[in-house]
Amino acid sequence: MDLPSSPDAARPGGSGPGALGAVSLGKGGQATIAFDKSDADVTVTATLEWDGGSSERRDKGADLDLYALYVAADDVAGDLDRIGSKRTIGRLPHELEDLSYDALKNPRAGAVYWNHLGAADRAPYIALDGDAQVPGVETVRITRPDRQGFVLICAYSAVGNGVGSFKSYGARAVVADGRGSTVTAPLYEANETAYWVAIALIDFTAPDGIVLTHVEAYSESHSENRPMLYPDGTFAMDLGPVEFKAGPAGS
């Protein structure tokens, strides 16, 4: 996806060779975390953090959910018609339309979230630590970076939260390699009518590590359809399945 990049604010604190330390992305910015993907000890974590924003906001409700939409390395494709934007209008190319239809039939496919916690020791090699229903953190651990193509970090705001932007909840995505590189993707827009935000795209196809891009794209007003991530790393809002919590999380 062609996205503008902006300067990254790096701070000292890296602990390994080539470590970034702490980096906060500007709007549309990018950062590269370098590591050897053949190293079985590397685990990438992607965390949704939120503090509720204020005591008043927390009292009204601040239940957010982390969604990690993924494309496995074996499924990456570079020859699809690219969407080329964060939101698509009109008819999708055939290949992408079929993928959207497949997701509607099987919402768990290509997604790790409250109803599909994933697994760290087998495919998809992405595991969610659980479902936090109060302000705090939710984290996915990605244990086999060499088996990943793209991971899109998204957040959903429960209808019960009422009116309020993801920014007002203090939401942000934090990606780390456990070796001294931590990249934060904050939110810059106060969109109070979106239930979904795509925060950051992690590109595992980079030869020497991962590239994290700040994407901050919102769903249409009150749209319950989650985003769709495609095999070429592009994504679209409002075209995925709709799913509501109705029981305990699945695995």
Q: Please tell me the predicted confidence (pLDDT) of residue 102.
A: 76
Task: Name the CA dihedral angle for 108, 109, 110, 114, rounded to a multiple of 10 degrees.
Answer: 10
Q: What is the mean pLDDT of the segment spanning 14-27? A: 82
Digit-coded pLDDT (tens) for 102-140: 777 888 899 999 999 999 999 999 999 977 665 689 999
pLDDT band for 9, please (50, 70, 90 cuts). Answer: very low
**Which class in CATH covers the domain with range 9-236?**
mainly beta
Q: Taking 80 as the threshold, does the pLDDT of residue 242 lie above it? A: yes
Residue extents of the structural domains in the chain: 9-236
The separation between the first and the last C-alpha atoms of the chain, rounded to the nearest angstrom, is 31
Round to whole Å and give the CA distance between 236 and 228.
Answer: 5
Digit-coded pLDDT (tens) for 41-100: 999 999 999 987 667 666 665 789 999 999 999 989 764 444 444 444 444 566 666 777
Q: Taking 60 as the threshold, does the pLDDT of residue 15 lie above it? A: no
Round to whole Å and give the CA distance between 222 and 224.
Answer: 6
For every residue of the chain, which 3-state class applies, written as one string?
CCCCCCCCEEECCCCCCCCCEEEECCCCCEEEEECCCCCCCCCEEEEEEECCCCHHHHHHCCCEEEEEEEEEHHHCCCCCCCCCCCCCCCCCCHHHHHHHHHHHHCCCCCEEECCECEECCCCCCEEECCCCCCCEEEEEEECCHHHEEEEEEEEEECHHHCCCCCHHHCCEEEEECCCCEEEEECCCCCCCCCCEEEEEEEECCCCCEEEEEEEEEECCCCCCCCCEECCCCCEECCCCCCCCCCCCCCC
